[in-house]
Structure formats: C-alpha cells, structure tokens
Structure 1
C-alpha cells in the first residue's frame, strides 16, 4: 500500500503541477489579452481625441487655419488666388457686356433722335423699374430674377439715395 500511496501522491503532485502550469498559462493569456484590449482602447481613445481636434480645427474659418498651420497656408493662398482670377474674369466679362449694352443703347437712342442726356435719364428711370420689379419687357429684367441682386437690393437702394444727395 505504501507504494500505491506514493504513486497517488506523485500523481497528485503531477496533476497539481499540470494544473498550475495550465493556470499560469491561462493567466498569462488573459493578461496578454487584457493588454491588447487596453492598447486598442487607448488607440481608440486617441483616435477619438484626434477626430475631435480635427473637427474643432475645421469648424474655424479657413483664413484662421491658414495663419496657424503653414502647411495649409500655401494651399489656401493658391485656392484664394485661383478663385480671385476666376472672379476677376467673370467681373471683367460682366463689365464688358454692360459697356456694350450702354454703347448700343446710346447708338439706338441717338438714331431715335434722343440726346445722350435724355438717354442717361431714361437709364436712371429704368433702374427704378428694374429695382421695383416693374419691367414690362419679358426679358427677366426685374431685380427678383437675380439672387445676388435681390440679396444686395437694400444696399444698392441706400447707396443710390446717398449719391442722389451729392
């Protein structure tokens, strides 16, 4: 029986040793898993914080961002310059068409027997017609047919009143 008891004790010791080894391995795996999860959690938190920083940055005016971030400044200035060039071309084309219409109106008016002063007076009266949406000619000439004109109507009227006093 002694031999059997020794065998049992040896078997129990081996089982205990195996159990301890398994327990320690399981514990190491759990720790590794926890560290990975913690690392992912930290990374997610860092990404959320970075996302919030970028949202805060992008909520500010582009000019302010350009002043604070030199890398962005060059791109911003290039965009502004390109936009200004296009805007200048559009404005130049509009000025050209307005001058051509004025030249045409003067030619037609003179052919109709009007003096340049009479033609200019007719143009001033027609500005009132357009601003007051009273155009009788169906050419889309009323102020209400132009979004930008409608948006700036009060400023135009105020400026005209100010200049009439001069």
Structure 2
C-alpha cells in the first residue's frame, strides 16, 4: 500500500473519487433543495389560489353589501319622503298604515260627534234655562279656561287625561296669539 500512496495514478483516482463523492453529495443536496423549493412553491401556489378565491368571495360579498346599502338608502329616502306627506296621502301609499290611520280617524270622528252632541245639548239646556246663544258661548269659553287651569267644579280638569295634559300648554299658547 505504501507504493499505492505514491502512485500518481492512484492519487488522481482518489482525488477523482472524492470529487465524484462531493459532486454526488452536492447533487443530493441540490435535489433536496429542489424538492423543498418545489414543495414551498406548491404551498405558495395553493395559498395564492386560496387567497384569490377568498378575495373573490369577499369582493362578491362587498358588492352585495354595497347594493343592499344603496337599497336601504333609497328605502330610507322614500320613507322620509313618505313621512313628510299628509297622513291621508301616507295611508293611500301604505295599506298597513291605512288600517291604523282609518282606526284613528274613526276614533276622532266619534269624539267629534260626541263633542258636537254635548254642544247641542248644552245649547238646548242653556236656551231652556233662559240663556242667550252669546251667554252660552261665553260660558263655554269660561269652561275651557277652567279645564286648562285644572279648576273645574266637576273633575273635568286637563290633568285627568294624559293627551290633554301633555298638550295643555300648547293649547294655551295657541289661544293667546
């Protein structure tokens, strides 16, 4: 063996084998790196596809929400416009409101009827008691003041009804002007 060590052919053969082994190891490392890069690239590609799909889905949702928002803005504007109309016009445009409005109008008509009947009764009694129409009207106006001032003799004060109580100040202000 000692002769082999000094043999130039053997030296170059060993050098070639070492270079071959180094090249083989470098090739294995390169293949491993290549496989790792391929896996990484495939993972990145899968992630890109997922992100594109998610972006597309979110874009569709955004478009849908923007359309819904625009529709809600239009609906809101339509309602604001509707609420600015007289109640009879509102009732003509909305059947559900029509039911409520008609019920309120019926209640108001019944109340007006009762007030007209009380006024007619008061005039009949007043005339039968020898009072003139002017005296009865003056008595009526005095009664209004008494009701609003909560100073009636028979418990018909404004504080006895929540709607009248809530609006008494406005009624007084409107009658003064």
TM-score range, shorter chain: 0.5 to 0.7
The answer (yes or no) to whether the contact 1:129–1:135 under 8 Å persists in 2 is yes
* Structure of larger gyration radius: 2
Alignment partners' CA distance in 1, 2:92 and 2:34: 67
Deviation string for 1:87-129 (max 9, x for gaps)?
A: 3212111112212322443454456x23352333311221233
Choose which of 107, 123, 140 in structure 2 pairs with 1:90. 107
Q: Extract unaligned runs of 5+ from structure 2.
A: 1-16, 84-89
Q: Does 1:26 align with 2:43?
A: yes
* 1:108-119 aligned within 5 A: 108-109=125-126, 113-115=129-131, 117=133, 118-119=135-136
Choose which of 122, 125, 141 in structure 2 pairs with 1:124. 141
Alignment partners' CA distance in 1, 2:51 and 2:72: 31
- Displacement after TM superposition at 1:22 (Å): 0.4
RMSD value over aligned CA atoms? 4.0
Q: Extract unaligned runs of 5+ from structure 1.
A: 67-72, 159-166
Deviation string for 1:25-65 (max 9, x for gaps)?
A: 11112212432443455356546645654564465462536
Q: Which residue of 2 aligns with 1:161?
A: none
Q: Which residue of 1 aligns with 2:174?
A: 155
Count of residues in Structure 1 that have an aligned counterpart in Structure 2: 151
Q: Does 1:42 align with 2:59?
A: yes
Alignment partners' CA distance in 2, 1:133 and 1:75: 40
TM-score normalised by length of structure 2: 0.58
